[in-house]
Structure 1
Amino acid sequence: MCRDGSLTYRQGITDGAPEALQVSDRLHIWQGLSQRVQDVAAAHRACLAAAVLPPVEHEEPQPATEDRESLETTRAGRHAKRLFEAVHEHTGTGRSISAIACELGLDRKTVRKYARATNWQEVVRRPRLRPPTALSAYLDYLRQRWDEGEHSAKILHQELAAKGYRGHYQRVKVAVAPWRETDGTPTPPPRAPSPLQIARSIIAPPERRHLDAQERLRSLFGNCPELAHVHDLVREFATMLDQHDATALPGWLDRLATCGHPTLAGLAKGLCEDQDAVVHGITTPYSSGMNEGRVMDVKLQKRIMAGRAGVPFQPVARGEGRVRMRHF
């Protein structure tokens, strides 16, 4: 009988079907561990600032060029260079393209393209030259008036119209928008990721993490060894689930109980009390995860449509002798 970790369910099954094999559902165990990881991340909220990646500076549009230095200053160039270095760190290990793609969370075609390139300049996407527009002839005057302090797109459009410009006001507004973001407006500092975001990155398999998430975790773990230790514990338990092997479970529970986090120690205590069912949940194919997923999907749809997931009951008038269910 597959169940969650509730003591009531366990006692009820023990009393009603003492010979039944009780299986602690893997989905509920993983959910419990995920929630504890988020609690630990919240307790180390001060460390999450170390996971902030360097901000990308705002850049003015530049024409396409083959020059190496100009490519390095573009966002596409930095992205291509980072992917090229990440792929080539694994190509010399003898691993297959599929294995590298799973490791980095990239498509096989992307990994193959970067692996075959001799340098990152070969795969960078170069910006295309845009054809001149009616506003192109007035850009110098527009920039001059902007530097002089005139930042109203409406007034600038009127001045250009007096000079012969026949384009729409919206084109002028779009043209000065990048200047408005960089001139006189302080750039807000990047925000640290939330405990939920860090917990999701830790729980997610390494092969499914985005490259930014991997760099964020690497920076965070270098400044917070406690979260790095929690990450190792999570990956060790995920390996047990993937391999259906509970041999390492007792030692893992001991390390979980002594890791120094009360929330994880409480989880370890509950799993130890229900260890036989947890072992069956890891080693047997039985799981209610599919059914639980359908229930969660139904609750999500109800929240989207009605704002609540419960099923309220409202009794009808006295004398009818039954209860009518009404959905809100």
Structure 2
Amino acid sequence: MEETSPPLESLLLPSIADVSVLSLDVSHEAIHIDVCSTAAGAACPDCGSESTRVHSSYLRFPADVPSGGRLVVLQLRVRRFFCPESSCARRTFAEQMPGLTRRYSRWTERLRSTLAAVGLALAGRAGARMARTFGVSISRSAVLRLLDALPEPQVPAPRVVGVDEYATRKGRVYGTVLVDVETRRPVDLLPDRGASSLAAWLAKRPGIEVVCRDRAPFFAEGARAGAPQATQVADRWHLWHNLGEAAERAVARHRPCLRVLVPDREGQADEPAPPEEKADSPWRSERFANRVRTRHATVHALLEAGHSRRSIGRQLNMTHRTVKSLADAAKPEDLFRGQWQHNRTSVLDEYKPYLDERWDEGCTNAWKLWEEIVPLGYRGSYGRVSAYLREKRTSPRPVTAQPPAPRVVTRW
């Protein structure tokens, strides 16, 4: 029995009706397909009247999805028809092939859907780069326009909705975000965080069974008014957050009691601190101190070897004043004697006992402590308080055992 090959239309354009392929030209770079419509007429896009009276024809060259690494270009013979309706404002119109072309488009419908799918997955810049890899030149703005033209997806009404606020301008302008808790996807955004807006949104969706929210009173009022049938629950994050705050306050309040239960380590309370960690050390930076000691020893070694101060300056690339100060100092500590005074008075001295007491109680927040001592008469800056607490935080800890900090217990 003789086998018949399928027509080119079913192979090249399987989902397009009323289309005839006239010729096919394949080269190393592109595939050119000559196509025309086989429909008897077309409908006017304005009035919808069918017309078979041809006015003229012209060629269109829309790009199609590449095939086998080659560009696919369609050569369409498009007819222009007269509109038979005398009352219609449009006198002539060009035919469109459903599923293949649309007005003013340089791409076929399947290439447009392919580029839109790439844009949905990769967005503008990355989508344009990916499109160029399979031979379609497109800008990131064109990819974004394709995404804007897509219809809004049909989102099913949520059963469990989460309600929270978001900031468009933090501290000033807030809105409400609604999330489908089961799919973890945002559902809608409201322009404010008022109870009336939330109630109106919930009233349009009677299928909502659970409203998951924080403890804001306006959200509670809106949920009661808009979804009286729904069960209101506190979300997991706020439960943990509130529990952590309560635990931290309780531990900070009872921390002096824990100090009695922690015994001191015997034999370590009177151990002297290492020389490099003494509080009265004149060196602010041990690295800087070592560098000065090295330069001092080098200068004195050259002096003992018989070199003059001028030759030492040339050899070590030092000024005459630097060589003189190093040579006149018997030891490195003499260079900066009296430069840093550790017994200077500070506006914070009067409030240090209070800060130490609050520190021992477990309050280590510099901003909070600064707000506490300002009503007591402190007129200094927040930076001074922060520096003092930073020194306490980074200084070597005493050898006596301390009870755990409130935040450590809260993490437990």
User: Normalising to structure 1: TM-score of the pair?
Assistant: 0.30
Q: Which has the higher helix share?
A: 1
Tell me: higher relative CO, structure 1 or 2? Use CA pairs within 8 A at least 6 residues apart. 1
Larger gyration radius, structure 1 or structure 2: 2
Q: Which has the higher strand share?
A: 2
